[in-house]
Structure 1
Amino acid sequence: MPLIGWVFILVAFALVVGSLFVLRDSANSMRISEEKMKKIQARKAEVEAEESAEDREQW
């Protein structure tokens, strides 16, 4: 393989690894306000209640 092929492969690999590191570093920096978290939990509870009701109807 010519040298330029190896350069492209190396650059592509570096971009993927670099993106993964950036994603890992920024994963915990996205804070959610308490109000929004309460809404999320309330909606999750609604969906779970609906799903359990549907499961009971099927049996």
Structure 2
Amino acid sequence: MPLIGWVFVIVALALVVGSLFVLRDSANSMKISDEKMKKIQERKAEVEAEESAEDREQW
């Protein structure tokens, strides 16, 4: 493979690895407000209750 091919391969790998590091670093910086977290938990409880009711109906 010519030299320019190796350069493209190295640059592509560097971009992928760099993007993964940026994604890892920014993963924990997204804070959810207490109000939204409460709504999420309430919705989760509703869905679980509906699923358990459906499971009981099937038996």
Q: Following the alignment from structure 1 to structure 2, what is the Cα–Cα distance between the partners of residues 7 and 53?
A: 59
- Normalised by the length of structure 2, the TM-score is 0.94
Any unmatched runs of 5+ in structure 2?
A: none
Over the matched positions of the two proteins, sequence identity in percent amounts to 90
Aligned length in residues: 59
Correspondence for 1:17? 17
Divergent runs of 4+, >6 A:
none
Correspondence for 1:7? 7
Correspondence for 1:38? 38
Matched residue type, 1:51: E
Q: Secondary structure at the match of 2:31?
A: coil
Q: Please report the RMSD computed on the Cα atoms of aligned residues, expressed in angstroms.
A: 0.6
Correspondence for 1:56? 56
- Normalised by the length of structure 1, the TM-score is 0.94
Q: Secondary structure at the match of 2:32?
A: coil
